[in-house]
Structure 1
């Protein structure tokens, strides 16, 4: 008999038993537990360690962006929370994780068929791990975002509870679906509108439609108009350091760019290579992006097709080891995790229902590991500081649902659903954790600000 057909596959009941066994190891009420251990790593020390692998000239800017509020500090400290989560008992129910699943790492963007969809949109820290790590980070971000928006503390806890509840109920739905139906499911703008308007009515429906309209305007030409100008008949990037620094394509720089893009091209499938081959690079620059990513190199390339009105902007972003990777090996080493850029790309392909057609990776001649994609292809996310209480709760429902879909797509939802159950006990425990950890993050933020004032950390 064929070995493939001879393999005994676990049944649904056996999958459910994995979840029940996880309950025995880690009761759902234990998900609430957070108390800083006596040997907890110093958050400022962790940030100083990260700074050693980043462009030192940009570290003050990174700290300045993190220093705006406890929420922006939280956005830049995925490493700190990853260390804290790794010190706690976990369910052992692993799936592909975003690794930095705070609420600002979700949003709208263009699918391959040019429809606006909503999904997780940042995978710099993606790696396999216990499902609850992503849920805890998402829930905690809502507590901090509520405070950032000036909303009462009970609204923050309610949003954390709603994120956990929607995750649990959606995982339960996916656990009963055929595998291929889960794989092809995606969050269309009409689904976003239905979820948001269910609790916010016409106001929410109008807000979603306005957001989709904004996303649709953020195409290649919106980037070109913002970041470039025409000089002597040739389009080139603006030179506005440190946020955008034009790098002339000459000498050794041109050779490095050419070699890197050749490697990037090889990571694409044949149809994408043929598409990319119809363009050629006409300019190059370094662009500072994000909060947590500041200090990592992020290059942008301006490409031209059949004429000056046929352009494409690609981004090559530096990738490092994921903060949630608990292995002992470095990326690319024998027996260790894969190329760091490849890790990001493969994690994104697993979790996202529809990704960028130019998603690929490369190693530079200098040894840097990068992943490539289009820059800002209809990407748009809401400003958390503008949320009303109703809007925050609705967004918690949307992101919790979306995270569950990403986990179900990349892993097995049946054991997770069996572990979480139907009672809401896990939801309450996760919300309790979120409140407790948000308080920890706020204390860490105070220590961070004090370190800037003392000169231990530099800030712009």
Structure 2
């Protein structure tokens, strides 16, 4: 936190009391130092910058900064993004900064606000969609649908917001580019082809939806998925009993075990029973048989999970299954929701997904048709939390096991899955025009559109490389143990 600044008198001498002055006189004469968070107002400032850029004003956005100016921008943006975690002296904040320093891909994943401030206001001419907001190779995976059966789709909605469709393609392209370098060590030529396949998969699927309108029925399941995804279904499958006992429960099955990741807080069961009841009431669903009577059996804090959300409160709630013998219990996760990294940065739009957990729940309900019924928003003691079901088959791909050929196949499938999520924006979201033909037209001619996406990706990845270098140097100097303050 900020240290109190020393005061000086008009002649520059120390502002201590003069001979014969009383303590009360000293306190009265000495000016007060007021410190306020520097981040206050920055969201509104960037919102105004977004509007100016969208209107064609000639301004200098952060992406054009170099040298020390860029270093200070990176530092202040990361401090602002982690303000609460730094102020609370969260152990998760320190762990997260260490994690960001460990690889460029982890740095990319955990600094979405920095990435999107470089995109402030651009692509205002492009069709809007319910954007995922944080597309990268590890934000696609296996998860339960509304019936508890496994499907492959987008799986992280923390940043979701209405934005130009190109923002997801550009974020996803950079994600594949950086991962293909860090994990696989591929050359630039091979990475360009991977990005092109990602965009091709997206455009092929979007053209198909524009013609046949099948986006609400095109779930990727075990029986209809490409080979690279079928393998993931097989690897993700695990018996629920083995999953529960192997990863979460005490030997007697009566609650969560205690270890370096799980911290039981059984005394909080009543509070989370209310949260579960509120969730069921808000969602208005009929409780599935597999959830028994929605009775909370135990609660724990989950430590050390995620990258972008590392250091934010996260709870696992154990729900007693119908057999009552801990072989079919289910786990609902509650994670503190935060403002989208894209808020105030996208070109002005009339579409509003809401704020915090309500926004996240809205995005999931649009992008993942017939998805997890426990995905929702609740308030716990005045704080906004999003919820979702943990499942034995919830898993994402092991990138280090992919060959160059399967990298391209996987990128193409992810592009197609993203297209399906976007295509639902006018079916289940707020978009009031036909999304699919609009995107197909905006992406024409296709070779030029793909070239432009690849060009953006290479430039952004080069900037990310330099940002990461400067971040690592600052992190070594303890730059992220304090937040920016204004003293006056």
Please, which of 417, 435, 444 is the counterpart of residue 421 of structure 1?
Answer: 444
Query: Distance in 1 between the 2:472 and 2:315 partners?
Result: 30
Alignment of 1:342-381 (within 5 A): 342-365=358-381, 367-381=382-396
Alignment of 1:14-33 (within 5 A): none
Structure 1 runs not aligned, ≥5 long? 1-24, 27-32, 194-204, 329-334
Query: Distance in 2 between the 1:91 and 1:112 partners?
Result: 36
Q: Match of 2:84? A: 53
8 Å Cα contact 1:362-1:369 kept in structure 2: yes
Query: Distance in 1 between the 2:362 and 2:166 partners?
Result: 21
Please, which of 400, 403, 427 is the counterpart of residue 385 of structure 1?
Answer: 400
CA distance 1:49–1:175, change in 2 (3 Å): same
Deviation at 1:224? 4.1
8 Å Cα contact 1:108-1:215 kept in structure 2: yes
Please, which of 326, 334, 337 is the counterpart of residue 344 of structure 2?
Answer: 326
Q: Match of 1:396? A: 411
Please, which of 130, 140, 157 is the counterpart of residue 174 of structure 2?
Answer: 140
Query: Distance in 2 between the 1:220 and 1:429 partners?
Result: 49
- Which has the larger displacement, 54-63 or 211-220? 211-220
Query: Distance in 2 between the 1:337 and 1:407 partners?
Result: 14
Query: Distance in 2 between the 1:227 and 1:275 partners?
Result: 18
Deviation at 1:378? 1.5
CA distance 1:343–1:272, change in 2 (3 Å): farther
- Which has the larger displacement, 269-278 or 347-356? 269-278
Alignment of 1:166-185 (within 5 A): 166-178=201-213, 181-185=214-218
Q: Match of 2:254? A: 235
Residue 91 (structure 2) pairs with residue 63 (structure 1): no
Deviation at 1:190? 4.0
Deviations 1:263-297 (A, max 9, x none): 22322214138875613112111113211110111
8 Å Cα contact 1:300-1:313 kept in structure 2: yes
CA distance 1:303–1:115, change in 2 (3 Å): closer
Q: Match of 2:116? A: 82
How many residue pairs get aligned? The number is: 402
CA distance 1:213–1:86, change in 2 (3 Å): same
Q: Match of 1:14? A: none
Q: Match of 2:152? A: 118
Please, which of 303, 317, 321 is the counterpart of residue 335 of structure 2?
Answer: 317
CA distance 1:222–1:261, change in 2 (3 Å): same
Please, which of 122, 126, 131 is the counterpart of residue 97 of structure 1?
Answer: 131
8 Å Cα contact 1:220-1:377 kept in structure 2: no
Structure 2 runs not aligned, ≥5 long? 1-53, 56-60, 427-434, 482-488
Query: Distance in 2 between the 1:353 and 1:269 partners?
Result: 16
TM-score, length basis structure 1 = 0.80
Deviations 1:215-259 (A, max 9, x none): 2217475144212213xx452212224x3222132xxx3453233
Which has the bigger relative contact order, CA under 8 A and spacing at least 6? 1
TM-score, length basis structure 2 = 0.76
Q: Which has the higher helix share?
A: 1
Deviation at 1:438? 1.0
Query: Distance in 1 between the 2:396 and 2:191 partners?
Result: 19
Residue 255 (structure 2) pairs with residue 257 (structure 1): no
Deviation at 1:344? 0.9
Q: Match of 2:222? A: 189
Larger Rg: 2
Q: Match of 1:160? A: 195
CA distance 1:219–1:110, change in 2 (3 Å): farther
Q: Match of 2:3? A: none
Query: Distance in 2 between the 1:294 and 1:364 partners?
Result: 19
8 Å Cα contact 1:159-1:392 kept in structure 2: yes
8 Å Cα contact 1:218-1:379 kept in structure 2: no
CA distance 1:422–1:113, change in 2 (3 Å): farther
Deviations 1:314-366 (A, max 9, x none): 111111111112289xxxxxx9863521211111110113311222221012x
Deviation at 1:53? 2.4
Q: Aligned Cα RMSD in Å?
A: 2.8
Please, which of 452, 455, 458 is the counterpart of residue 478 of structure 2?
Answer: 455
